[in-house]
Structure 1
Amino acid sequence: MIDGSGVTGFAPRSLLPGELAAASVGAGVSGRKVRRTFRDGVVDGLLFIGAVMVGLVMLGTGQSTRGVPPWLQELDPLLGAIACLALWWRRRFPLAVTLIALPAISMSTSAFGAGMAIIANLAIRVPWDRSIPVLGLYLASSVPNLLIVSVPRGDVGLTIAFTVAYYLLFFAWGSALRARRLLVLKLREEADRERADHARRLRDARRAERRAIAREMHDVLAHRISLLSVHAGALAYRSKQADAGTAPALSDAEVSASAQVIRGNAHQALEELREVLHILRTEGGEEGDGGTQTDGTEGTAAPQPRLEDIRHLVEEARAAGQPVEFRDEELRAGELPPRPQQQRTVYRAVQEGLTNARKHAPGAKVTVRLGGGPGGELTVEISNPLPSGSPGSPGGSSAPGIPAPGIPGAGAGLTGLSERVELEGGVLEHDGADGVFTLRARLPWPAR
Structure 2
Amino acid sequence: MTDPGRPPRDSGGRSGERGSVPRSILPGALAVHADASGEDGRVGGPVRRTARDWAVDALAFAWAVGIWAVLVSRLDTYDYLPDWLVALDAPLGAVACIALWWRRRFPLLLALIMVPVGALTNSGSGAGIVIILNLALRVPWQRSLPVLCAMIAAVAPYVLIYSVPYEGGWAAAVFVLAYFLVFFAWGSALRARRLLVLKLREDADRERTEHARRLAESRRAERTAIAREMHDVLAHRISLLSVHAGALAYRTRKSEAGSGAQLSGAEIAESAQVIRDNAHQALNELRDVLYVLRTDTDSGEPAPPQPDMADLLGLVDEARAAGQTVDYGAEVDSASEPPRPQLQRTAYRVVQEGLTNARKHAPGSPVKVRVYAGSPREEVTVEVSNPLPAGVAESEIPGAGAGLTGLHERVELDGGTLRHGSVDGTFTLSARLPWHSPPGR
Which residue of 1 is the match for residue 33 of structure 2? Answer: 23
Structure 1 residues 154, 210: CA separation in 2 closer, same or farther (over 3 Å shift)? Answer: closer
Amino acid at match of 2:146: P
How far residue 103 of structure 1 moved from its aligned partner, in angstroms, is: 2.3
Alignment of 1:218-257 (within 5 A): 218-257=231-270
Alignment of 1:48-447 (within 5 A): 48-61=61-74, 63-150=76-163, 152-153=165-166, 157-283=170-296, 299=301, 301-329=303-331, 331-372=332-373, 375-389=377-391, 405-446=395-436
Structure 1 residues 57, 268: CA separation in 2 closer, same or farther (over 3 Å shift)? Answer: same
The CA distance in 2 between the partners of 1:2 and 1:404, in whole Å, is 52
The CA distance in 1 between the partners of 2:181 and 2:36, in whole Å, is 33
Structure 1 residues 352, 14: CA separation in 2 closer, same or farther (over 3 Å shift)? Answer: same
The CA distance in 1 between the partners of 2:311 and 2:248, in whole Å, is 28
The one-character-per-residue Cα deviations of 1:167-194 (angstroms, maximum 9, x if unpaired) are 1111100000000111111111111111
Amino acid at match of 2:140: P
The CA distance in 2 between the partners of 1:389 and 1:125, in whole Å, is 78
Judge conservation of contact 1:278–1:295 (CA < 8 Å) in 2: no
How far residue 438 of structure 1 moved from its aligned partner, in angstroms, is: 0.7
The CA distance in 2 between the partners of 1:410 and 1:404, in whole Å, is 13
Which residue of 1 is the match for residue 3 of structure 2? Answer: none
The one-character-per-residue Cα deviations of 1:336-380 (angstroms, maximum 9, x if unpaired) are 233322221111111100000001111211111112266411211
**Unmatched 5+ stretches in structure 2:** 1-9
Which residue of 2 is the match for residue 9 of structure 1? Answer: 19
How far residue 143 of structure 1 moved from its aligned partner, in angstroms, is: 2.1
The CA distance in 1 between the partners of 2:200 and 2:327, in whole Å, is 64
Judge conservation of contact 1:22–1:29 (CA < 8 Å) in 2: no
Amino acid at match of 1:355: T
Amino acid at match of 1:30: E
Amino acid at match of 2:222: E
Instruction: Provide the aligned C-alpha RMSD in A.
Output: 2.4
The one-character-per-residue Cα deviations of 1:1-46 (angstroms, maximum 9, x if unpaired) are 464263212311111111111226x899436631111000000001
Secondary structure of 1:301's partner?
A: coil
How far residue 62 of structure 1 moved from its aligned partner, in angstroms, is: 5.3
Structure 1 residues 63, 280: CA separation in 2 closer, same or farther (over 3 Å shift)? Answer: farther
Structure 1 residues 434, 252: CA separation in 2 closer, same or farther (over 3 Å shift)? Answer: same
How far residue 243 of structure 1 moved from its aligned partner, in angstroms, is: 2.6
The CA distance in 1 between the partners of 2:403 and 2:132, in whole Å, is 71
Judge conservation of contact 2:16–2:31 (CA < 8 Å) in 1: no
Secondary structure of 1:130's partner?
A: helix
The CA distance in 2 between the partners of 1:418 and 1:200, in whole Å, is 24
Instruction: With the length of structure 2 as denominator, give the TM-score of the two structures.
Output: 0.90
Amino acid at match of 1:20: L
**Unmatched 5+ stretches in structure 1:** 285-293, 391-402
How far residue 134 of structure 1 moved from its aligned partner, in angstroms, is: 0.4
Amino acid at match of 1:335: S
The CA distance in 1 between the partners of 2:362 and 2:290, in whole Å, is 31
Structure 1 residues 60, 447: CA separation in 2 closer, same or farther (over 3 Å shift)? Answer: closer
The CA distance in 2 between the partners of 1:154 and 1:97, in whole Å, is 28
Judge conservation of contact 2:119–2:158 (CA < 8 Å) in 1: yes
Judge conservation of contact 1:370–1:379 (CA < 8 Å) in 2: yes
The CA distance in 2 between the partners of 1:2 and 1:229, in whole Å, is 50
Judge conservation of contact 1:67–1:152 (CA < 8 Å) in 2: no
Amino acid at match of 2:39: S
Secondary structure of 2:382's partner?
A: strand
Amino acid at match of 1:23: H
Judge conservation of contact 2:24–2:51 (CA < 8 Å) in 1: yes
Q: Which moved more, 1:216-225 or 1:243-252?
A: 243-252
Amino acid at match of 2:311: D
Structure 1 residues 420, 343: CA separation in 2 closer, same or farther (over 3 Å shift)? Answer: same
The one-character-per-residue Cα deviations of 1:188-243 (angstroms, maximum 9, x if unpaired) are 11111111111111211221122112211211111001101111111122223323
Secondary structure of 2:100's partner?
A: helix
How far residue 332 of structure 1 moved from its aligned partner, in angstroms, is: 2.1
